[in-house]
Chain A
């Protein structure tokens, strides 16, 4: 977005990165300890791969749109 020092996509990247780290981290904890949440399909370990996807997207957006690099 013109006129903004920090592009909107950077904010989105930060949020996805933080959420991804939290959710993926919890998923890894579940995997490591074997204490699955009481939800359907807990065995497919959605927190690991969904959280991981959010984390990767977050890293991509933060790296690509970090302040100072925007517009390049």
Chain B
């Protein structure tokens, strides 16, 4: 899921892929037979699960909603797994290498409050109205106009994201393992199409839980071994402080890498170039709430819960694992800062993808464009010796990007078998994300586009067939998108921006629709559409006039990371104002029509009493306490 991948990381991953493809260099690792067996067993298992569950996915309720019979644990793990894509893992490990523990904001304030809010406050409305999708909720609340805008934009976003994700993963496999791009794309997409097409959402959820376990099993060993070698947390901190001057170029204070809030008072005081207002309101509220509470990719998992209490508990269970994820993502990035070495024992410094691309080598190990490489390296913190070594060429001279921090750490520590498990974790992350994309696409396409706009009178089995076909077609279009991206690289930035363009207006429409009885049908439609246009305009403004970043993020010191959070904030405010003003100028729906849809007009069902230790409120309180504690600990 690119939406929450750091702008710099995604831009690096995506923008410089052509250069990655042009590399003639050796892959980072070679798999042994034991590793290949581990990967092959994984593929066999996920496909077998698809076949096994085919017989339990015959009705539309079973195929699209997994029969609404998932327990809180299964829905919760699936919820968090659908988000834990491999590019997310590698992108954030690379960001931790660049920005230190600040990257954990995207896992803590950028997720936890929204997940708790979804569970305790929003889930009852989604669940009680028995909607099958987020656009489905908009249909009930605002009518067909807003629903269609959301459904069509979501379907396009899912399919393009899936294609870009697929291509990005294939490039990673090429760079890390030397695998052929075509092979990676076809094998992974066929596997996903098979198991989701056969078993529907049930199979996607089933496999996501499996993939979640594999991601942790494959990635957790890296920080454990890294900490052993670094001398524990104290040793890691000491060594990073020692290296800090070179890594930051002296631009920020020495220990900013270990403080999440202390240096957020000014854009130039922290390595990320972000202000706390952007983190709290842009990330912590708009982007985070937009993604975790309205993006159907994740919400679909919770809607499959077997009762309201399970639906409320699922995001809360997921939030515990989300809070722990920095241990397998952020920590390896920080460890990479001090532990990664060149073959001669010198410290290996990672650089941006643009620098790696500028310094790509020819087949004989020489830098293809020496002057371009020299100019690119001059902007980095690479030492003169290191720069000279790169320009001299040779097998050990090749530069590696921030995004390769996690694979490099895996290669450093994981021997036969364990490396296969680590690679399986990356593949599992990719497949869980892609399965999320195609299963959500299939539901929205079938219910909110095909059934709503094309054929309203089909039988249940007809819609299941349409759902299965839409998965196959969706995967085929994704493959097409992957190849399009491969040959027209400029579109990647635009595809990647789709999420951030859509999500803020959607959040405004849903929050006002769910908590304000006065919001009207026309207001929902205009607010959503107008917000998307406004957000896209801001994006294009900065794209065409890079200096406009200072206006969007309100500071000349702002860095690209700040753009996403502030653009989302302005788009949300714009949409909210449009919805409020339009609502006040138009006639409201009678309160009776809003039963089950809006707070204040809905009588929520009474849940059976449970002991305190099974209550969602108890667990939510524990989440909040741990969340606050972590932020104070790393203040």
Contact = CB atoms under 8 A, between A and B. Distances in A.
B210 interface: yes
Contacts of A40: 225, 229, 412-413
Contacts of A27: 417
Interface in B59-75: 67, 69-71, 74
Contact of B45 (A4, A11, A46, A51): A11
A4 B412 contact: no
Interface string B15-41: 000000000000000000010011001
Given A1-B70, A8-B209, A40-B412, A15 B228 contact: no
B594 to A, nearest CB: 32
Contact of A39 (B38, B69, B412): B412
B64 to A, nearest CB: 15
A30 B213 CA distance: 26
Contacts of A3: 56, 67, 69
A23 interface: yes
A14 B84 CA distance: 23
A26 B416 contact: yes
B541 interface: no
Contact of B52 (A6, A14, A23, A36): A6
A46 B413 contact: yes
Contacts, number: 90
A40 B227 CA distance: 12
Contacts of A30: 415
A12 B213 contact: yes
Given A15-B41, A26-B34, A37 B415 contact: yes
Contact of B418 (A4, A8, A46): A46
Chain B contact residues: helix, strand, loop or mixed: helix
Interface residues of A, number: 31
A1 B75 CA distance: 10
A62 interface: no
A41 B228 contact: yes
A56 B161 CA distance: 38
B53 interface: yes
Contact of B417 (A8, A16, A23): A23
B106 interface: no
B415 A12 contact: no
Interface in A1-59: 1-4, 6, 8, 11-12, 14-16, 18-19, 22-23, 26-27, 30, 36-42, 44, 46-47, 50-51, 54
A33 B210 CA distance: 34
A72 to B, nearest CB: 16
Contact of B415 (A1, A4, A19, A42): A42
Nearest to B75: A1
A51 B217 CA distance: 10
Nearest to A38: B415
Contact of B210 (A6, A11, A22, A39): A11
A49 B627 CA distance: 31
A39 B41 contact: no
A41 B229 contact: yes
A3 B52 CA distance: 12
B217 A19 contact: yes
Contact of B413 (A12, A15, A41, A54): A41
Contacts of B49: 11
Contacts of A16: 213, 217
B69 A1 contact: yes
B436 to A, nearest CB: 17
A44 B227 CA distance: 13
A4 B342 CA distance: 51
A19 B56 CA distance: 28
B347 interface: no
A11 B206 contact: yes
B74 A18 contact: no
Interface string B183-216: 0000000000000000000000010011001100
A36 B56 CA distance: 47
Nearest to A18: B41
B177 interface: no
B306 A15 contact: no
Nearest to A54: B217
A8 B74 contact: yes
B418 A2 contact: no
Contacts of B53: 4
B225 A44 contact: yes
A14 B306 CA distance: 26
A51 to B, nearest CB: 7
Contacts of A15: 41-42, 45, 210, 213-214
A50 B74 contact: no
Contacts of B71: 1-2
Contacts of A42: 415
Interface in B407-441: 411-418, 421
A54 B218 CA distance: 10
Contacts of A26: 34, 415-417
B221 interface: yes
B38 A22 contact: yes
A37 B206 contact: no
Nearest to B69: A2
A41 B418 CA distance: 13
B306 to A, nearest CB: 7
Contacts of B417: 22-23, 26-27, 47, 51
A51 B415 CA distance: 12
B53 to A, nearest CB: 7
Query: Of residues B206, B210, B415, B421, which shows the largest number of chain A Cβ atoms within 10 Å of its Cβ?
Result: B415
A6 B225 CA distance: 35
8 contacts: A1-B69, A1-B71, A2-B71, A8-B209, A22-B34, A22-B417, A26-B416, A47-B416
Given A42-B415, A50-B418, 20 more contacts: A1-B70, A1-B206, A2-B306, A4-B53, A8-B206, A12-B209, A12-B210, A15-B42, A15-B214, A16-B213, A22-B34, A22-B38, A23-B34, A26-B416, A30-B415, A41-B229, A41-B413, A44-B225, A46-B221, A46-B413
The 6 closest A-B pairs by CB, nearest first: A37-B415, A23-B417, A2-B69, A26-B417, A39-B415, A40-B412
Interface of A: 1-4, 6, 8, 11-12, 14-16, 18-19, 22-23, 26-27, 30, 36-42, 44, 46-47, 50-51, 54
